[in-house]
Structure 1
């Protein structure tokens, strides 16, 4: 099962959202690969079609490129981070890319 996730990350006054893909349970994925931030799972999509999840992540990245954010801490996946004021920005982008 492939999973696309959106997490909200916070540490020392820094906050952002991260979009990613995993085949693990999401909490297990972040237990195994520490990112140095506290996080809360905000949204996820599961599918047996890994190609669909991959394409969805890429489409969201293109749609949200103006919100791209480079974190202060270095970790694998830091290029998949975004800074926006509300999860509604993500949800609107998700609606657009899934209705094409």
Structure 2
């Protein structure tokens, strides 16, 4: 069940992205980031292609590999991201290098 705050966040996400030129679809992604010194996973959601999500000033300063991508409605993707983050909270990981989205990182992922 979505709380009022969640509904507002979903509506804001839709409004912010639906008419953008780079809109692709609503999706959840899981990335593996590994630079031999650190290895962790990033959970996130986007409305852009995965390639466009992490280019330019919002790139991830680690080599990445896409582990999984799921597409769906904005509501379904929002709920899925929230569930996965809650399930994996005990594996919370803080990368040595900061980047946009670095607070949704985990040393291990349970699906």
Question: Which of 60, 79, 89 is matched with 1:55 structurally?
Answer: 79
Gaps of 5+ in 1: 94-100
What TM-score comes out, normalization by structure 2 length?
0.72
Aligned match of 2:68: 43
Kindly report structure 1 stretches of 4+ aligned residues shifted beyond 3 Å.
none
Aligned match of 2:90: 66
What TM-score comes out, normalization by structure 1 length?
0.80
Aligned length: 86
Q: Distance in 1 between matches of 2:36 and 2:99?
A: 16
RMSD across aligned C-alpha pairs, in angstroms? 1.2
- Decide which structure has greater strand share: 1
Larger radius of gyration: 2
Gaps of 5+ in 2: 1-24
Report the CA distance between 1:35 and its aligned residue: 1.5
